[in-house]
Amino acid sequence: ADLLIRSSGGNVTTSIMYGLMHEDINNSGDGGIYAELIRNRAFQGSSKFPSSLESWSSINYATLTLKKLATPLSPALPNSLNVAAGTAGTKPDPKKTKIGFANTGYWGMDVKVQNYTGSFFVRGGFEGAFTASLQSAITGEVFGSVEVPGTQSVKDGWVQRNFTLVPARAAPSSNNSFAVTFDPAGIREGSSLDFNLISMFPPTYKDRPNGMRIDIMEALAKLNPKFLRLPGGNMLEGNTIDTYWKWNETIGPLKNRPGMAGVWKYQLTTGMGLVEYMHWCDDLNLEPIVAVWGGLSLDGAYTPKSAINTVVQYALDEIEFLTGAAATTKWGAVRASILGHDRPWRVKYVEIGNEDWLAGRPTAFDSYKQYRFQAFQTAFAQKYPDIQLIASPSVFDGMTIPAPAAGDYHPYLTPDEFVAQFNKFDRLSKNNLTFIGEAATVHANGGKGWDGNLMPNPWWAGSVAEAIFLLGAERNADRIIGATYAPGLRNLNRWQWGMTLMQHAADPALTTLSTSWHVWRLLGNHVITKTSPVTHTSKAFSIGPLYYVAGTGEKGTNIVKLAVYNATEPVQVSLQFESKNDAKPKAARATLTVLTGPKDPYAVNDSFTRVNVVNETMSALTADEKGLFKFSLPPLSVAVFETGGE
Ligand code: AHR
């Protein structure tokens, strides 16, 4: 293939081409990026997932009972754990004076010699000290413990006890648990104590209290993301019309957060709430793309026209909470008072709902087209005219998106389907600004569609196909707001979708970067700010087996991103930069980075074999006397060519 990169023409691109999307699926929030170690820390429940003692166990025959007390810790957290010495038949071991309770975390806990910052609330008259400890769940070996004074515990009030636990040694595996024990002889009045909101964090990213897991944030940062679409996804919609993600119930002290029935088969703590998402944006310098609830739930129910203004007002309040001045707006004042966060955040993008073309179609979709989206558009135009609105369907989903709003396209496809979409966006008009808020290869070519299972892992050929789709998006990046993979994270112990950028477990050594992570990382780290037209000189522009996009980089470099699909032999590439007088090449030296996989196109990056199937090579290229850069790219490869900015 002979490619001539033109010196004029092209388009200025979006400044946020690659980003992230997050909702709590696959225990990617609780048990994932949210660093809380204690699972079921506040016995939260819902009609879908009733409150339980899941992941708690008794120490030394203590009787553990879930209680709904007349004086709960807070209206948001009505359930608590009652702990009493064992009764007949379950008498405490007389050699051990202490009783208590243990938690096995999100399938284990990583124990290192580092600070663990924790707290719990206790209710009941008690004299003495509690012991908080980390130990092996197999042998009981204690790696570290700390005494937590208990003397201020009082009969009818809840008292918060804080502690810092520093293990004396690291545990050999993550099969560990956390325990609180105490001598029941210290109980004054009655024979039991009540506990709630038992929480413990390891060091977090940028040391944020209630913060994020360091290794996961670091791996995300390496993708060089520019935005975060939050908080979903199906999670935003909720299962039923009254169980959507309620932003106002995810803010403030943890004891005021009731949690919610997750849509992915588990209860959510919402410890990772709206503000934590914004901190994530702050810490990775990401543009927030805030999705507000649009009045649709996953069961297909939707808000009638007569009530839509209430839903719109709820969204306006959310944006005011984030962006309003502390001194002059109601919700800005709330932000400042409960968070001490005087400085408003800046929000440039707001998405209305999630996939409103899908659940409850056709009537729910009709309601979106007929009045729901319009109600938001009118209100936002008035109150936040500078915010770019995004409709949750795209122009490809059967909705005419009223400009200046953009649409959101979610391709979950086979590799062949992705490759066939390389030129899909060439037809987008200037009025069809499109966001790719979720994308991933989910089925093998010829595999079952949505009636069958999704693939259990991203695989190499699928990741190459995603690259080709993305090159097509980059060619049109004046009409594309940005693109993100979804779902981005997946806990190895419980997941609903196999597709992921990263797999994780309690043990950070098991954190695995998928084949797609490698591809999206390469593309995301070579930012094209202006595209350059490319002429295919040997024949009229043809599509495949080589796919490409060219442009100018942030530092004035020339960048060409390429991918090869459906080839049996390496593709020979000869690449030339147009120079006005055809005399000299613009640059004589370049770097070529190539990602390849093994022979098996279905190869995956597996957390247990720890083998990375993606091979990355980097080579220096020199142009010949005619200014041609010549190189070859293997079948199923993704490459970035970049001149050194000479
Ligand atoms: O990414 C998984 C799900 O796929 C999202 O929650 C939803 O928006 C889409 O259907």
Burial pattern 586-615, b for ≥16 Cβ within 10 A else e, equals ebbebebbbbbbeeebebbbbbeeeeebbe
Those residues with Cβ within 8 angstroms of residue 156's Cβ, 6 or more apart along the chain or in another chain: 71, 123
Of 602, 601, 461, nearest in space to 519 by CA: 461
Compute the residue count for the chain.
646
Does any ligand 1 atom lie closer than 6 A to the CB of residue 497?
A: yes
The protein residue with its alpha carbon nearest to ligand 1, atom 4, reads: 233
Structure tokens at 557: 């470099």
Q: What is the pLDDT of residue 462?
A: 98
Place of tokens 């609330």: 121
- The atom of ligand 1 lying closest to the CA of 438 is 1
**Helix (H) or strand (E) segment spanning residue 64:** strand 63-68
Q: What is the pLDDT of residue 646?
A: 46
- How far does residue 187's CA lie from ligand 1's centre (Å)? 50
Sequence-distant contacts of 409-412: CB under 8 A, at least 24 apart: 409/434, 409/435, 409/436, 409/437, 410/355, 410/436, 410/437, 410/438, 410/439, 410/486, 411/436, 411/439, 411/469, 412/438, 412/439, 412/440, 412/441, 412/442
Please report, as a single letter, which amino acid is at residue 455: M
Q: What is the pLDDT of residue 357?
A: 98
Structure tokens at 513: 């970067």
The mean pLDDT value of the chain amounts to: 94
Does any ligand 1 atom lie closer than 6 A to the CB of residue 357?
A: no
Does any ligand 1 atom lie closer than 6 A to the CB of residue 354?
A: yes
Of 597, 571, 570, 594, nearest in space to 461 by CA: 597
Calculate mean pLDDT across residues 298-305.
98
- Percent with pLDDT over 90 in the chain: 88
Does any ligand 1 atom lie closer than 6 A to the CB of residue 486?
A: yes
Q: What is the pLDDT of residue 449?
A: 83
Q: Ligand 1 test: best mutation among 28, 354, 358, 495, most atoms within 8 Å of CB?
A: 354
> Which tens digit of pLDDT belongs to each residue from 185-222?
999 878 999 999 999 999 999 999 999 999 999 999 99
CA distances from residue 135 to 183, 265, 507, 509 in whole angstroms, order as listed: 19, 29, 15, 19
- The atom of ligand 1 lying closest to the CA of 234 is 6
Backbone angles phi, psi at 328, to 5 degrees: -120, -5
User: pTM value?
Assistant: 0.96
The protein residue with its alpha carbon nearest to ligand 1, atom 2, reads: 487
The protein residue with its alpha carbon nearest to ligand 1, atom 9, reads: 233
- The atom of ligand 1 lying closest to the CA of 23 is 6
Collapsing DSSP to helix, strand or coil, 197 comes out as strand
> Which tens digit of pLDDT belongs to each residue from 216-232?
999 999 999 999 999 99
Q: What is the pLDDT of residue 401?
A: 96
> Which tens digit of pLDDT belongs to each residue from 29-75?
999 999 999 999 999 999 999 999 999 999 999 999 999 999 999 99
Structure tokens at 162: 């804080």
Collapsing DSSP to helix, strand or coil, 15 comes out as coil
Q: Rounded to whole angstroms, how far apart are CA atoms 32 and 491?
A: 6
Q: Which domains does the chain have, with CATH numbers?
A: 2-11+532-643 (2.60.40.1180), 56-201 (2.60.120.260), 232-402 (3.20.20.80)
- How far does residue 233's CA lie from ligand 1's centre (Å)? 5
> Which tens digit of pLDDT belongs to each residue from 145-184?
999 998 666 666 899 999 999 999 999 999 999 999 999 9
Those residues with Cβ within 8 angstroms of residue 339's Cβ, 6 or more apart along the chain or in another chain: 251, 252, 275
Q: What is the pLDDT of residue 584?
A: 53
Does any ligand 1 atom lie closer than 6 A to the CB of residue 440?
A: no
Q: What is the pLDDT of residue 155?
A: 63
